[in-house]
Structure 1
């Protein structure tokens, strides 16, 4: 480790982090793979790429075994615990749930460090394949495709950092402090110095770079991958752009990107001419068959031999204890009973499960409690449709917004509850639909974050972090779709202006990086 260098770079400094990818990919790598040899033949380059996905799925925790940082499970778990639609029942997520984090709290520290470790692996891949093309080891088309994968992961990772450590784009059109957008592989003393000199820039600058990376990914990724949805495709890059532009409030941009994926048709079922994406007829199918369904666009793969483990895999952390999971996080009765979640909705009957040990309801989206092979869903076609529905609604095209909303909603609700005309507040109905459709998929905090300053759809009273239930407030009788009781949260909302809305840059970074030492978030 170079003197004075931030610890997160250690994970992929001179080696490309492939020591454990055999478990993840079932490919036998070399026992160690230095960058001087990693890009000398096509098979080794594929190992480098697989190592990047291993880092995305499992990461590391306190220098040891992974706990699903950053995308194996942690991005979903953390984003749900920052919201109010799931209830933390134990100490494991207490800091995140209660917003009592500081610059040394494990969850936010590891999220920052492991995201930047992943970004560096993406940069190592990008730099290496560029050299391999120049040396004639791989063709330019193959090299461009690998670079596009690296850029996709780099864009996804930087956006994950933005929604936790920075103010939303809506504040000053992105004029607030962003995160360092790392585009250089840190693999030499000179690169270390360059990395240390890079400041936070602005949120707007980060979004511009994210879109630049995704434009490149769209242009150079294939429509299909032999690894299925475990590797990004052209459609995945476009889908992610609908999300990014939604966070920017660029409604026309959301519509334009979504149109590429088939959201502009005005009759018949929605399907994408790129990638062949379409909604499954049953909302449970994408979770019963993570690797083989028409709706998933990009997911992070896990396997029995490589996953976040009992302390980091989605089924272990979010599942009920009577089926072998830890029973740490229950669905909030206030979501379960919400008036907008109608009686007879399949997403309640098929994707919620009663824990007979405590009488509470838990998500049933991740259900392999024994070997923990459930994949982490990053983006589905349902999200693309709802992203575009919101953009159409906000720009006045009520008819198309309603078609897109109904496409997602109608497969789950009884006929009597289907919308035949637009609700009085269509945008609100779309936002409520997101809470149901993406429950336990980590989309709640990103929505809270992007809507924080929205005068019509942000949390009321200037709240930035919603009021939440304490675990002692709920029991089996709290869940009742006939009487639909509402429980007044015992944990007060936290104002958007409160410093706790943002996570702090970790002490491990601040103490080693003189540039960021002067750019810590206020209050920490």
Structure 2
């Protein structure tokens, strides 16, 4: 089984958990095991930073490099790590045999952690039945979230016609790193597993959790809605988006959108804008969860010895063309390389984002609900959500959705995907949108490409298209070598 190859991760987990727990937490530590006994121990386990802060080459870093919303400056790209170059060049294998697959390890080690809580919490002592139920629900929601990442990285996009045959990811329910004999379950099976975990979690999750980094009921509802949308189950998605936004608004400290018209004005939170970007912006302060329904964060800054980095990335011309001059989201971009070095070409980097949120942001909830409504031909409702977001991102007089975009289902869906790029460019979201577009008739014929600028001009470039197979990552060599019975992706 895939977890077998990561036996040494138990050492890392022990270090993380022991650092944040009382001395009595681990009395006996058998090899390859974490020992927790009282309910409070499991609550501490769910506080493990690795569950919500992917600060060491985890999260969506490779996804950032593969979206068509980014281009590359050749002078920096030539010295980037092999992994970064492979991802940007759409190579068949991003990882070499000797590479550390940090993101894969974080997902699978977190899977071990949440399975431990799911399987053991009922037998813990010292806690109430309600506490145990809530912790189990939280672990189930995290497991579903982990699998949603894995299935959308290492398997083909969900296609109703082929999902039962497409290779997915092994469904692992046990916290036993010595298990063997797992197979790659189908995409359909994994999606069914994700849905059931989210449903079970929603039934018992509290409306409020201790922190935005930990799953609450509206966070699980929003994620289940996103799963349905990815499957094309639009009516079910819309019902769940409505529930998520209603419940999120009822929380004790609800997520709220920053109004950029206020925050970029004199005296606003993001004022002034310096060489390192807007002051106090969420991308600089990883603990800013103002807009987070579920706050999971990954490091998205310059290369720092962690194999991936964004030193060479600039906004692609296709993505830059989507921004109107009055869009205040452009304030997060500047003509600078990392470390405040001016870019003589004038091309834009997202120089103010060292940390990106990839859990569930309130802005994405509105955009996803707008998409569900548009796909159901509820155009006015979709436009309302779009304009609610846009009024918080630009002056009100330019925030209206253009009449042509709102004139039909197809044109409005295209506009929604463009709005997603305007909201989340260079943060990994576009990669997952490209996967969905690749099987959506509305985007039929659309191609995805990358550009490398070989000098300061915009004419001396190298460009290449994304092969269809590269919309699914291949399992890393370290996984395949440990599991020779697996069939890898093309």
Answer whether TM exceeds 0.5 for this pair: yes
1:250 aligns with 2:206: no
Over 3 Å counting, the alpha-carbon distance change for 1:239 and 1:441 in structure 2 is farther
Over 3 Å counting, the alpha-carbon distance change for 1:488 and 1:293 in structure 2 is same
1:166 aligns with 2:170: no
Aligned match of 2:276: none
Query: 1:295, 1:258 → 2: CA distance?
Result: 16
Query: 1:502, 1:366 → 2: CA distance?
Result: 26
- Matched residue of 1:362: which SS? coil
Q: CA deviation at 1:100?
A: 1.5
Query: 1:503, 1:302 → 2: CA distance?
Result: 19
Aligned match of 1:279: 257
- Matched residue of 1:390: which SS? helix
Over 3 Å counting, the alpha-carbon distance change for 1:312 and 1:365 in structure 2 is farther
- Matched residue of 1:311: which SS? coil
> What residue ranges of structure 2 are gaps of 5+ in the alignment?
264-269, 271-280
Aligned length: 448
Aligned match of 1:143: 132
Q: CA deviation at 1:41?
A: 2.4
Query: 1:414, 1:180 → 2: CA distance?
Result: 48
1:70-126 Cα deviation digits (max 9, x unpaired): x3xxx2x21111111123443231111112242843779443333222211111122
Q: CA deviation at 1:310?
A: 2.5
Query: 1:16, 1:46 → 2: CA distance?
Result: 18
Q: CA deviation at 1:158?
A: 1.2
Aligned match of 1:510: 480
1:181 aligns with 2:149: no
- Matched residue of 2:172: which SS? coil
Query: 2:378, 2:3 → 1: CA distance?
Result: 52
The higher-RCO structure (CA 8 Å, 6+ apart) is 2
- Matched residue of 1:197: which SS? coil
Q: CA deviation at 1:431?
A: 0.7
Query: 1:309, 1:28 → 2: CA distance?
Result: 36
CA contact (8 A) 2:52 2:295 kept: no
Q: CA deviation at 1:500?
A: 3.1
Q: CA deviation at 1:280?
A: 2.5
CA contact (8 A) 2:56 2:102 kept: no
Over 3 Å counting, the alpha-carbon distance change for 1:28 and 1:376 in structure 2 is farther
- Matched residue of 1:238: which SS? helix
CA contact (8 A) 2:66 2:90 kept: yes
Q: CA deviation at 1:146?
A: 1.6
Instruction: Give the aligned CA root-mean-square deviation in angstroms.
Output: 3.4
Query: 2:24, 2:445 → 1: CA distance?
Result: 49
Aligned match of 2:13: 17
Query: 2:298, 2:163 → 1: CA distance?
Result: 35
> What residue ranges of structure 1 are gaps of 5+ in the alignment?
59-65, 264-269, 319-326, 368-373, 479-486
Q: CA deviation at 1:353?
A: 2.9
Q: CA deviation at 1:408?
A: 1.1
Aligned match of 1:448: 434
Aligned match of 1:396: 377
TM-score w.r.t. length of structure 1: 0.76
Equivalent of residue 207 in structure 2, options 223, 233, 243: 223
Q: CA deviation at 1:502?
A: 2.3
TM-score w.r.t. length of structure 2: 0.81
Over 3 Å counting, the alpha-carbon distance change for 1:375 and 1:332 in structure 2 is closer
1:40 aligns with 2:37: yes
Aligned match of 1:87: 71
Over 3 Å counting, the alpha-carbon distance change for 1:286 and 1:220 in structure 2 is farther
CA contact (8 A) 1:242 1:384 kept: no
Query: 1:427, 1:414 → 2: CA distance?
Result: 23
Aligned match of 1:329: 313
CA contact (8 A) 2:475 2:488 kept: yes
- Matched residue of 1:469: which SS? strand
Over 3 Å counting, the alpha-carbon distance change for 1:344 and 1:29 in structure 2 is farther
Over 3 Å counting, the alpha-carbon distance change for 1:452 and 1:33 in structure 2 is farther
Q: CA deviation at 1:488?
A: 9.8
Q: CA deviation at 1:238?
A: 1.1
Query: 1:21, 1:68 → 2: CA distance?
Result: 20
Q: How does 1:122-521 map to 2 (within 5 A)?
A: 122-132=114-124, 136-170=125-159, 172=161, 174-175=163-164, 176-187=166-177, 192=179, 196-226=180-210, 228-262=211-245, 272-274=249-251, 276-282=254-260, 286-287=282-283, 291-300=287-296, 310-312=304-306, 317-318=309-310, 327-336=311-320, 338=321, 340-349=322-331, 351-355=332-336, 357-359=341-343, 360-366=347-353, 374=355, 376-419=357-400, 422=403, 423=405, 424=407, 425-457=411-443, 460=446, 463=447, 466-472=448-454, 475=456, 490-496=462-468, 499-514=469-484, 517-521=485-489
Q: CA deviation at 1:492?
A: 1.6
Over 3 Å counting, the alpha-carbon distance change for 1:125 and 1:292 in structure 2 is same
Over 3 Å counting, the alpha-carbon distance change for 1:103 and 1:418 in structure 2 is closer
1:116 aligns with 2:108: yes
Query: 2:205, 2:334 → 1: CA distance?
Result: 38
Query: 2:384, 2:361 → 1: CA distance?
Result: 18
- Matched residue of 2:212: which SS? helix
Over 3 Å counting, the alpha-carbon distance change for 1:67 and 1:328 in structure 2 is farther
